[in-house]
Amino acid sequence: MLYNRLRENPNLETAPRTFFFAGKAAPAYQLAKVIIKFINTLAETIDNDPMIRGRLKVLFLPDYSVSMAERLIPAADVSNQISTAGYEASGTSNMKFMMNGALTIGTRDGATIEMAQEAGEENFFLFGLTAEQVAGSRGWYKPQWHYENDPETRAALDLIFSDHFSRNEPGVFAPLREALLTKGDYYMHLADLKSYLEADQRLCDLYADPAGWSSKAILNVASSGKFSSDRTIAEYAADIWNAKACPVS
């Protein structure tokens, strides 16, 4: 979306942004491999576009590891936690971002719910359907409605499907069209997309206010104590292991 906006309006006032993607696809997960390929071709297209270069940067970092995370997480301003509500196990990466002062834009899913409760939803950028709404709309959800009725969504998808990012491999991103439109968009990406863009705009507006941004970042760090290993181990020791503290002299 941002790529399209910058192409259509080179004078658009927005802070330069770098998006890091990292992860691995399971050997048999073909769609994940297509998504990684898209990220890389998008990055290459942006780097070769003089209108966009310097204002938008996309990087896919292969062989993601704990050592890499130790460098990336402290450097991040924003943590994107965009799993479909109700489908994410409660991971810990989002907590690490919070402890290092990154602000979170995310769905009401996994540990993000608990984090927002600790810091206050006003210090998070929540978006999208709830787990109950996702489950309740399974029988009637039609991704084509969003494609047909939201011009910006349609323009973004049409650009991907037009081979703009894959001129040397026409049709390579056909599986994305199939997953999003033909097979019903199981994870409801299109249902959450507009809400994500609205939350992202609020985030961008705050970034233009350094004092306001710093305030929310500090509040997030100060509210992250519940997710520390000290609290977790103490609770496990008391409630599960029935272990007593041993004084060390």
Residue carrying the six token digits 């103490």: 234
Q: Say if residues 143 and 181 touch (Cβ distance below 8 Å).
A: yes
What DSSP line would sit under 120-139, residue for residue?
-GGGSEE-S--HHHHHHTTT
Interior CA angle at 203 toward 223 and 161, to 5°?
125
User: Band of the pLDDT at 226, cuts 50, 70, 90?
Assistant: very high
Greater confidence (91 vs 161) lies with 161
**In the predicted model, is pLDDT for residue 195 greater than 80?**
yes
The answer to whether 108 and 133 have CB atoms below 8 angstroms apart is no
Give me the pLDDT at residue 244, please: 86
pLDDT top residue among 110 and 46: 46
- Residue 38 pLDDT more than 90? yes
Q: Quote the pTM value.
A: 0.92
Q: Give the mean model confidence (pLDDT) for residues 137-155.
A: 96
> pLDDT by residue (tens digit) across 70-114?
999 999 999 999 999 999 766 789 999 999 999 999 999 989 999
Whole-number pLDDT of residue 212: 98
Structural domains of the chain, with CATH: 2-241 (3.40.50.2000)
d(CA 173, CA 81) in angstroms, rounded, equals 24
- pLDDT confidence bin for 248, thresholds 50/70/90: confident
Measured in degrees and rounded to the nearest 5, phi and psi for residue 62 equal: -75, 165
